[in-house]
Structure 1
Amino acid sequence: MGTVGLSFGSPTSGAGFNVSTTVSEIVSNLQNVETPWKNQLSSLESQDTVLSSLGTLYSNLTNDISSLTDFTGVMSLKEGSSSNNDILELTAADSSAAEGTYTVSVNSLATTATGFMTAISSSSDTLTGSMDINGTTIDVPDSSTGDDNITGLANAVNSAGIGVTATVLTDTTGSRLVLTSNTSGTGGSIAVTANSITDSTSGASLSYTSQIATGANASLTVNGISLQSSSNTVSGLIPGVTFQLLGTTGTGDTIQVVIANDNSAVESTVTQFVTDYNSLVSAMNAQETTDTSGNSEPLFGSPTLSLLQQQLLSSINYQSPNGFVTGASSASDTLTGSITIGSTTIQMSSLASGSQNLNGLASAINSGDLGVTANVVNNGSGPQLVLVSNISGSPLSATSNLADGTTSLTYDANTGGMNALTGLGISMNNDGTISLDETSLDSVLNSDYSGVLGFFQDANSWGMTFSTMLNNAGASNTVGVLALAEKSNSNVESSLNADVSKENLEISAQQSSLTTELNSANEILQELPAQLNSVNELYSAISGFNENPNG
């Protein structure tokens, strides 16, 4: 702590000294003890700003990868097209839709049953009686309600809940009640019996003309299979696809419906992932430099920054430890030969009779404690024996000498033909950022979409591993690297703020005490000339000498 030099001036001048200024100098000197605490607080607050910014960048990247790894995310989206939208218009294709081309012929459209009653001259004519519609008796409303007219009868039909909608159609010939089934197709017929409706105004009985349009199902063929739909909005006849029938095809004519994966949506998401990844890496790299004044950035030399960089670099270069065996025409085909996984060889001849196939081999691998999980899946081109390492790391080491008859079964060490980002056309730059070759990405999506899907979504895949790393690093995870760093800073800041507050209380007490004491001293100094003058006068009176040189 420094010292404060106090100047009281001439003690006999009576001028005293400035108490406020003197106290301020002393307090300022006392506050110097807080300087290192406040400097540390400022440094921690700067770190908090950077950590918060990195948390946002991690969150952006997490959203990108989640869209790719989510089974219902962007990779499940489908898009479709119709070769003739005037006849068949696609309205939706969900994740269950199978990629492919479907040939459709529309023979007839679905129709809805409709009928009407005899026209009356005025919609205000009084009606009486009742009619039976699909087994339910509908009475003309009582005259006391004022609804005993054609509009009241229509309202009575609509409120009965019998699957029929009644409307009043008025033209130059009069007003008539029109009945329309709420269900299209053959299941929506209208049966009107026991009709006794009478126009009291004219005395005429109103007859019902049965179904000017009968309910009929739409008739169409999909890939040569004859099908029917009760509605012109068709769902399920092509799995996962909904389309609208608007017309019929000519004899022998067909419409091509193409269902494809939504590559453009995937490409857009991967592009955004690359952009957000580079933003995060660039933000980290910026912390390893100094600012324009030569001061180190807040996280310069921070172990937190080093750990985040190591995790990010390790995960971006991670290779998916998966692979698959393909070539069998059926999962139940009897196989010959052997497969070697690591240092273990499994001979098909060693398996029980009836188990010498892909399913039996998968069971043998799973029960062999080889550190590998095996599953038989069908990707549309035939069964595959998918192998997934139970330990994250480099690709599986496996060799296939299997055969299905005369066909050799090959082992691909990469999931779907890739086990690293390079398979997507993504390369690493010297500064840690990455670059995307959009042409390569488009090519692999067109040639091996299932491989890209597995790269992101298979167990222990690159996508799942990278997603886990982001979760373990981000601020949204309470035990994530960023969250723990922010919590540690917060704890230190709380302690420092408490120390500053405590010191301020002590300084405030000293300031109050100093002010009181120095005010008292100042009063004494200001009274000294008068006291000295009194002493001089007393001395002169006693001694007879005049001690005042100016007297």
Structure 2
Amino acid sequence: MGTVGLNFGAINSGTGIDVAATVSQIIAAEQAVETPWKNQLTTLKAQDTAFSSIGTDLATLSSSLQALTGFSGVFAAKQGASSDTNVIALSSATSTAVAGSHSITVNSLAQTSSMYSGVIANVGDTLSGSLTIQIGSGTAQTITVGSTSNTLSSLAAAINGASIGVRASVIKDTTGSRLSLVSATSGAAGQITLSGSLTDATTGTSVSFQQGQQGQDASLNIDGLDITTASNTVSDVIPGVTFQILAATGSSQPVQVQIANDNSTITQAMSAFVTAYNAVVTDIKTQEGKDANGSAQPLYGDPTLALIQSQLSSGLLGGSASGAITSIGQLGLSIGQNGMLTLDSGQLQSVLNTNFSDVMGYFQNVNSFGQTLNKSLNGLSSTLTSGAIYLALQQNAAQETSLNKNISDQETRIAADKARLTDQLNTANQILQDLPNQINAVNQLYSAVTGYNQQNG
């Protein structure tokens, strides 16, 4: 801390003290105490930034690994193909689907039962009578035409409101209007049985009904087994596979449906894992060096950095074998001298084609490579309370809190000192500035008493 002094002219000059400059000099000396604290805060903040960046990249790496280790991840994905998409179109293949080929013959499509009335020339004509409607083997219900249901539109509304299991609507064309009834249940179980009579009371004409479409189940043969289904959307015949029946072909034209593992998605996920891993390695290498000014990076020599490096290395080389797969090298993964991973996609595709279940087990079995590395990454997390980066950030936060308190307390003391010094020096300044007047008064008094004038000699 430098020496602080008071500078003013001759005692009888009346110039006084430069209060502001003097106070600033004293305060600057007190503020110098904060410099090492602020320097340490700057260092800690830089470490926080570096830790947070590594934590983000580790989280990305963990997410990319979970896509491979999760039971509903990329290994569960399936691809499907139909040899004739005009006959059978695949909708989806879930994780429960098993890779393999299926031969499907479509004998007939499912149909939904429908009926329609004869033409009524004037849609507003008044109707009379009643209709009894039965769906399949369900209970028959009777709709009696009344004052609120005696037109085609109001009758359709009454039928829909009765929840019988049909959808009633009015269809118009150039010849007139009809009442259409379509079963809400596809297949044979939704067959409409209609009885009763309906009359156009305006014209006195009887209104008859005709079968539009017979309720019918689809007839298939899948891998030699005869199957019937009420819907042309089939989802419970081949486990995990949903497909649409679009046309009947007959037994002479079976369609081949192929279900395969989605190796391309797995390869993409492996590539994402390699990219994420290399990002973390780059983070570590950056912190082990110097910045553009030649100064050490914030985490240079930090033990947490060494722990991350050690955990990644052990996790990458750990885990038990899964059948024929005993190392990451068999998956097309290799580690360069710079610590970076590379992926041979061709080798990965080959091993997926020959040992798919073993590859999946290498990521998903208990104590497997995937589960071991996942555990290592959890131990380095910046969000889990037991994670190394989380703990390092917490330790820094505690030090930052203490340093900020020291600075805050010092600033409080400085503010009090500044106010006190300013008041004291202003008072002293007033005294110094008034000294010439006081000296002059003394001289005048002295002259009056002695008759001697000091100024004239």
Aligned equivalents of 1:81, 1:45: Cα separation in 2: 55
Match status 1:503 vs 2:414: no
The equivalent of 1:139 in structure 2 is: 144
| Alpha-carbon shift at residue 9 of structure 1 (Å) | 2.5
| Alpha-carbon shift at residue 258 of structure 1 (Å) | 0.5
Amino acid at match of 1:452: V
The equivalent of 1:238 in structure 2 is: 238
Aligned equivalent of 1:170, options 172, 189, 202: 172
* Residues 89-98 or 217-226, more deviating: 217-226
> Mapping of 1:520-535 within 5 angstroms?
520-535=427-442
Aligned equivalents of 2:309, 2:382: Cα separation in 1: 15
Aligned equivalents of 1:202, 1:40: Cα separation in 2: 100
| Alpha-carbon shift at residue 30 of structure 1 (Å) | 0.5
Aligned equivalents of 1:23, 1:458: Cα separation in 2: 72
Aligned equivalent of 1:156, options 132, 155, 158: 158
| Alpha-carbon shift at residue 247 of structure 1 (Å) | 0.6
Aligned equivalents of 2:8, 2:260: Cα separation in 1: 93
2:360 counterpart SS class: helix
Cα distance per residue 1:404-455 (max 9 Å; x no partner):
xxxxxxxxxx313212221211111112211111111111111111111101
1:197 counterpart SS class: strand
1:522 counterpart SS class: helix
Aligned equivalents of 2:268, 2:437: Cα separation in 1: 92
Quick one: percent identity of the two aligned structures?
45
Q: Is the CA contact 2:289–2:300 (under 8 Å) kept in the aligned structure 1?
A: yes
2:434 counterpart SS class: helix
Amino acid at match of 2:8: F
Match status 1:439 vs 2:440: no
| Alpha-carbon shift at residue 54 of structure 1 (Å) | 1.2
Aligned equivalent of 1:545, options 420, 443, 452: 452
Gap runs ≥5 in structure 1? 322-413
Aligned equivalents of 1:419, 1:539: Cα separation in 2: 112
Q: Is the CA contact 1:75–1:262 (under 8 Å) kept in the aligned structure 2?
A: yes
Deviation >6 Å, runs of 4+: none
The equivalent of 2:71 in structure 1 is: 71
1:129 counterpart SS class: strand
Q: Is the CA contact 2:106–2:251 (under 8 Å) kept in the aligned structure 1?
A: no
The equivalent of 2:50 in structure 1 is: 50
2:25 counterpart SS class: helix
* Residues 34-43 or 156-165, more deviating: 156-165
Amino acid at match of 2:255: I
2:188 counterpart SS class: coil
The equivalent of 2:186 in structure 1 is: 184
| Alpha-carbon shift at residue 295 of structure 1 (Å) | 1.4
Aligned equivalents of 1:19, 1:171: Cα separation in 2: 102
| Alpha-carbon shift at residue 251 of structure 1 (Å) | 4.0
Q: Is the CA contact 2:7–2:18 (under 8 Å) kept in the aligned structure 1?
A: no
The equivalent of 2:213 in structure 1 is: 213
Aligned equivalents of 1:58, 1:457: Cα separation in 2: 20
| Alpha-carbon shift at residue 192 of structure 1 (Å) | 0.9
Gap runs ≥5 in structure 2? 135-139
The equivalent of 2:39 in structure 1 is: 39
Aligned equivalents of 2:180, 2:437: Cα separation in 1: 120
Amino acid at match of 1:313: S
The equivalent of 1:129 in structure 2 is: 129
Cα distance per residue 1:6-51 (max 9 Å; x no partner):
3122222111121011101100110111111111111111111111
Q: Is the CA contact 1:139–1:153 (under 8 Å) kept in the aligned structure 2?
A: no
| Alpha-carbon shift at residue 62 of structure 1 (Å) | 1.2
Match status 1:201 vs 2:224: no
Amino acid at match of 1:446: N
Number of residue equivalences: 452
Q: Is the CA contact 2:80–2:90 (under 8 Å) kept in the aligned structure 1?
A: yes
The equivalent of 1:373 in structure 2 is: none
Aligned equivalents of 2:115, 2:61: Cα separation in 1: 61
> Mapping of 1:346-385 within 5 angstroms?
none
Cα distance per residue 1:32-90 (max 9 Å; x no partner):
11111111111111111111111111111111111111111121011100010001000
1:546 counterpart SS class: coil
| Alpha-carbon shift at residue 542 of structure 1 (Å) | 3.0
2:325 counterpart SS class: coil
2:379 counterpart SS class: helix
Cα distance per residue 1:73-122 (max 9 Å; x no partner):
12101110001000100001000001001111111111111112222111
Amino acid at match of 2:328: L
Amino acid at match of 1:112: T
Amino acid at match of 1:202: T
Amino acid at match of 1:164: V
The equivalent of 2:396 in structure 1 is: 489
Q: Is the CA contact 1:67–1:73 (under 8 Å) kept in the aligned structure 2?
A: yes
Match status 1:11 vs 2:11: yes
Aligned equivalents of 1:290, 1:533: Cα separation in 2: 70
Aligned equivalents of 2:175, 2:404: Cα separation in 1: 90
| Alpha-carbon shift at residue 523 of structure 1 (Å) | 1.0
1:473 counterpart SS class: coil
Amino acid at match of 1:434: L
Q: Is the CA contact 1:220–1:226 (under 8 Å) kept in the aligned structure 2?
A: yes
Q: Is the CA contact 2:106–2:221 (under 8 Å) kept in the aligned structure 1?
A: yes
Aligned equivalents of 1:159, 1:436: Cα separation in 2: 63
Aligned equivalents of 2:9, 2:74: Cα separation in 1: 83
Instruction: Give TM-score scaled by structure 2 length.
Output: 0.96
Instruction: Give TM-score scaled by structure 1 length.
Output: 0.80
The equivalent of 1:354 in structure 2 is: none
| Alpha-carbon shift at residue 502 of structure 1 (Å) | 0.8
Aligned equivalents of 1:301, 1:431: Cα separation in 2: 19
The equivalent of 1:519 in structure 2 is: 426
Aligned equivalents of 1:216, 1:453: Cα separation in 2: 43
The equivalent of 2:222 in structure 1 is: 222
Structure with larger RCO (C-alpha < 8 A, sep 6+): 2
The equivalent of 1:89 in structure 2 is: 89
2:342 counterpart SS class: strand
Cα distance per residue 1:283-323 (max 9 Å; x no partner):
111011111111111111111111111111111122x22xx
Aligned equivalents of 2:3, 2:74: Cα separation in 1: 70
Amino acid at match of 2:212: I
Aligned equivalents of 1:185, 1:488: Cα separation in 2: 69
Cα distance per residue 1:243-270 (max 9 Å; x no partner):
0011122442111100011111111111
1:477 counterpart SS class: coil
| Alpha-carbon shift at residue 472 of structure 1 (Å) | 1.4
Aligned equivalents of 1:172, 1:511: Cα separation in 2: 99
Amino acid at match of 1:150: L
Aligned equivalents of 2:316, 2:158: Cα separation in 1: 69
